[in-house]
Structure 1
Amino acid sequence: MAPPEDQYGKPKEPSLYREPLHSRVRRVHQRATALLSEALAPFGLTPPQWAALVALQQSGPMSQIDLGRSIAMDPATMQGVVVRLISRGFVVRGPDLHDRRRNLVSLVQPGQEVLAAAAPAVAKAERDLAARLSADEQDRLLDLLSRLAS
């Protein structure tokens, strides 16, 4: 079966390649990841490790499964992130005092310190990413991204 043709008889491109949303979101993601990776490099952190530390700071101790869900990370990848953060002394894993069947991941002082130290570099990376947008456009973008992510 021949591929569908446009009005001029040319084969139509697959919609994935014509769809600007997919390619633009991918490009923005790549740029954001590169800026964040560069900002975090002096602190020896990766973007997923940063996300995990921020989630723990904001929400407090949680199970590894809940931590992964909170930052949209699959369990296998989350396991590696937590192991590396434990080895660096940024988090600890221990039993939940209310449910001994569960372990909780908790942020500890060195993790809080690296968050505080890296925060200005991360803020600069975010400003650099959004520099072409007005404050109103930045707010609108965050709102739209929140709606798309849910």
Structure 2
Amino acid sequence: MEEALKPLGLNPAQYAVLAELDARPDQTNADLAERAFITPQSMQGVRAKLEESRLVERRQDVRHGRRQLARLTPEGHVKAEAANAEVMRVEEVLEAAVHPDAIQDALI
């Protein structure tokens, strides 16, 4: 997956954030960190890089003034779709490699 995302300028943690925000916009740093299986401190760096690239933006939560919510920019949506296509391609290759027919052929 890392190699498939590299041409898009993404790493797996950045992809996890884009995919998560594509599915569920307006998440906190802590929410994103939990879903990407990294620490909140590490997520700050990941999110900052995505903001620098103008793929993610933050806004204040209207219900909780101190919370910042992240969401994809229009460019972020485009990048998320491209990354999803690459990840699905990788998953298809992996699935084909472990498909029962492939295993059966390997045993023969």
Length-normalised TM-score, structure 2: 0.85
> Structure 1 unaligned runs (5+)?
1-35, 136-150
Match of 2:38 among 64, 67, 73: 73
Give the CA RMSD over aligned residues: 1.3
Matched, 1:87 2:89: no
> Structure 2 unaligned runs (5+)?
101-108
Matched, 1:96 2:61: yes
Give the paired residue count: 100
The CA distance in 2 between the partners of 1:58 and 1:73, in whole Å, is 19
Higher relative contact order (CA 8 A, sep 6+): 2
The secondary structure found in structure 2 opposite 1:101 is coil
Length-normalised TM-score, structure 1: 0.63
The CA distance in 2 between the partners of 1:47 and 1:91, in whole Å, is 16
Matched to 2:88, the amino acid is A
Give 2:27's aligned residue: 62
How far off is 1:131 after superposition?
2.0
Give 1:127's aligned residue: 92
Give 1:23's aligned residue: none
